[in-house]
Amino acid sequence: MTLYKVVRSGVKTLVLGVALAAGPATAADRPVVVELFTSQSCYSCPPAEELLGKLAARPGLIALEFHVDYWNSLVYGLAGRWTDVFSSPAHTERQRAYAARLPGGVYTPQMVIDGRAQVVGSRLRDVEQAIAAARSAPDPGAEVSVERIGERLAVRIAGAASTQPTPVWLIRYRERATTRVAAGENRGKTLTNHHVVVRMDQIGIHTGDKTELTAAIDLSMGEGCAVLVQSAALGPIAGAADCQLRP
Please report, for the chain, the start and end positions of each structural domain, with discontinuous segments joined by +: 12-243
Query: What is the pLDDT averaged over residues 124-133?
Result: 96
According to the model, what pLDDT value does residue 97 have? 95
CATH class of 12-243: alpha beta
Between 28-37, 43-52, 136-145, 210-219, the lowest mean confidence (pLDDT) is in 136-145
Q: Is this model's pTM higher than 0.95 or not?
A: no
- CA–CA gap between residue 17 and residue 7 (Å, rounded): 28
| pLDDT of res. 29 | 66
Quick one: pLDDT at residue 161?
55
Within 8 A by CB and 6+ apart from 164, the residues are: 231
